[in-house]
Homo-oligomer: A and B are copies of this chain.
Amino acid sequence: MFVIIVYDVGEKRVAKALKTCRKYLNWVQNSVLEGEISDVNLKKLRAEMEKLIDSEVDSVILYTWRTQKYSDREIIGLEKGGISNMI
């Protein structure tokens, strides 16, 4: 499965959110990560994010595609992340 995750969380939780997402996905920019992920790991990621956010103020969006990656990803300006950011 291909996933893009974007989060908008309180400052206190930013570092933890990034660390959690990076366990499963590749960082691409600011609060955006993407990557191939198994169903099991997606479940784990979702559970960990649910646990760490404050659901009254934070927002996390998970875009998932069962069958295909995006057909194109285009960068305007700097490429901040990249596949070299894998753990």
Interface residues on A, range: 35 or more
Residue among B53, B54, B59, B70 making CB contact with A29, cutoff 8 Å: B59
Question: When chains A and B are docked, how far (Å) is the Cα of A1 from the Cα of B49?
Answer: 30
Contact A63 B55 (CB under 8 A): no
Contact with B along A1-18 (1 / 0, CB 8 A): 000101011000000000
Shortest distance from the beta carbon of A12 to any chain B beta carbon, whole Å: 14
**In the bound complex, CA of A59 to CA of B8 (Å):** 17
A23 at interface by CB-CB < 8 Å: no
Interfacial residues, chain A to chain B (CB-CB below 8 A): 4, 6, 8-9, 28-32, 46, 49-50, 53-68, 70-80
